[in-house]
Amino acid sequence: MRIGCPTEIKPQEYRVGLTPNAAREAVDHGHEVLIQTDAGLGAGFTDADYTAAGAAVVDTAEEIFARSDLIVKVKEPQAAERAHLREGQVLFTYLHLAPDPDQTRDLLACGVTAIAYETVTDAAGGLPLLAPMSEVAGRLAPQMGAWALQKANGGRGTLMGGVPGVGPAEVVVIGGGVVGTHAARVAAGMGADVTVLDRSLPRLRYLDDVFGGRIRTVYSSGGALARLLDQADLVVGAVLIPGAETPRLVHRADLARMKSGAVLLDVAIDQGGCFETSHPTTHEDPIFAVDGIVHYCVANMPGAVPRTATIALGNATMPYMLALADKGWRQACTDDPHLLAGLNTHAGLLTNDAVGRAQGIEARSPRMT
């Protein structure tokens, strides 16, 4: 099979879908790998690294899309990329279709077989291809939140860890999954006072256990969140209902009860966001204010640390990429129902229930033979 990896074109996105290690494995499995010129540079991989791994470097994205059976990327295809996709081609990348009707329409219209990293599941009930980027975004969240809290950025002027005689920042993390756990860990490490809310009691028990009293856990309800908002300096939105649009848990009216200059940092923005006042922002222009509250809503946070993020993502995607290339998508998905859970569109059919519910489109099962 021919596997193609174009340069990411989303603003300030420096990750790349294939590492040289992954390219080498694919070549060792008998596949041909095409990589666009300089696709890996932002993550610190040169064209020479890819040619040493056995890949062929080609000049344009057009050529990658035209010649490849399997396209491996990082971010959802942008409109210019969607114009090159076609039926019979497999796209393996993040899609986040639930809040994105334009992308959904284009993927259905072109007939591409699109497998979304974020809806691939595992036997433990996790999301193995979302997890590495959630770890990165979660660890970045307090770092970006601390920056947004600085006065020059519109923030309250609160130092995360405080100093002797002055208390630390109050950090509230909504959703104690992968993002939330890693955000809590770094925020606590910075010396902040951390509270994590979740709707899953087993998850709260786990967090209570692993943090050994260094953070507070609270069952997530509207009342509990309202009380915490009054005190919060930084609120991290880290809720996920897999595949679905994020529930809105903080409404515009709630901003009035918050401290002026507090920060809402919506990691869940890629699924629509958990604050009513959120809208996606970019690394170039990451923050905006609503009613005196700073919002940070970058939809591709790991793009800020492309070296770490590319290697972490490549480690997780490689076995699935090889299964798709070795067996073809039908056999790979038949053999592994968790990979089949990643299938979002095929030959004009929407195949993911949660995306279908979010968009009012009936989800259908693909023909597997």
Catalytic residues, by residue number, are 96, 270
Residue nearest to ligand PYR (CB): 133
How far apart are CB 135 and ligand NAI at their closest, in Å? 8
Residue 108 parent element (H or E) = helix 101-110
Determine if 49 is a binding residue for ligand NAI (CB under 6 A). Answer: no
Determine if 300 is a binding residue for ligand PYR (CB under 6 A). Answer: yes
Strand pairing partners for 56? 34
Q: Which does 269 bind (CB under 5 to 8 A by kind): ligand PYR, Mg ion, ligand NAI, none?
A: ligand NAI
Residue closer to Mg ion (CB basis): 225 or 313:
313
Q: Are 234 and 171 in contact (CB under 8 A)?
A: yes
Binding mask 86-125 for ligand NAI (x = CB under 6 A): --------------------------------x-------
Determine if 204 is a binding residue for ligand NAI (CB under 6 A). Answer: no
327 in a known ligand binding site = no
**Residue 19: helix, strand or coil by DSSP?**
coil
212 sits in the region (left: phi over 0; alpha: psi -120 to 50; else beta) called left
Binding window for ligand NAI (CB under 6 A); candidates: 163-171, 238-246, 253-261, 328-336: 238-246
Query: Distances in Å between the alpha carbon of 357 and those of 51, 97, 280, 353?
Result: 44, 11, 22, 6
The DSSP result for 199-259, as a single string, is: S-HHHHHHHHHHHTTSSEEEE--HHHHHHHHHH-SEEEE----TTSPPPP-B-GGGGGGSP
> Is residue 68 exposed (0-12), middle (13-18) or buried (19+ Cβ within 10 Å)?
buried
300 in a known ligand binding site = yes
The DSSP result for 138-186, as a single string, is: HHHHHHHHHHHTSGGGTS----TT-BTTBPPPEEEEE--SHHHHHHHHH
Residue closer to ligand NAI (CB basis): 84 or 185:
185
122 in a known ligand binding site = no
240 in a known ligand binding site = yes
Binding to ligand NAI (CB under 6 A) within 244-283 occurs at 246-247, 249, 267-271
238 in a known ligand binding site = no
How far apart are CB 302 and ligand PYR at their closest, in Å? 4
How far apart are CB 45 and Mg ion at their closest, in Å? 23
Q: Which of 104, 119, 220, 277 binds ligand NAI (CB under 6 A)?
A: 220
Q: Are 366 and 108 in contact (CB under 8 A)?
A: no
Strand pairing partners for 170? 193
Query: Distances in Å between the alpha carbon of 26 and those of 63, 262, 310, 328, 364?
Result: 19, 47, 17, 13, 31
Residue closer to ligand PYR (CB basis): 112 or 304:
304
Q: Are 94 and 116 in contact (CB under 8 A)?
A: yes
294 in a known ligand binding site = no
The residues binding ligand NAI (CB under 6 A) are: 118, 127, 130, 133-134, 137, 174-180, 197-200, 203, 220, 238-241, 246-247, 249, 267-271, 299-302
- Binding residues (CB under 6 A) for ligand PYR: these are 75, 94, 130, 133, 270, 300, 302
Q: Which residues make up each annotated binding site for NAD(+)?
A: 134, 198, 203, 220, 239-240, 267-270, 298-301
Q: Provide the annotated binding site.
A: 15, 75, 134, 198, 203, 220, 239-240, 267-270, 298-301
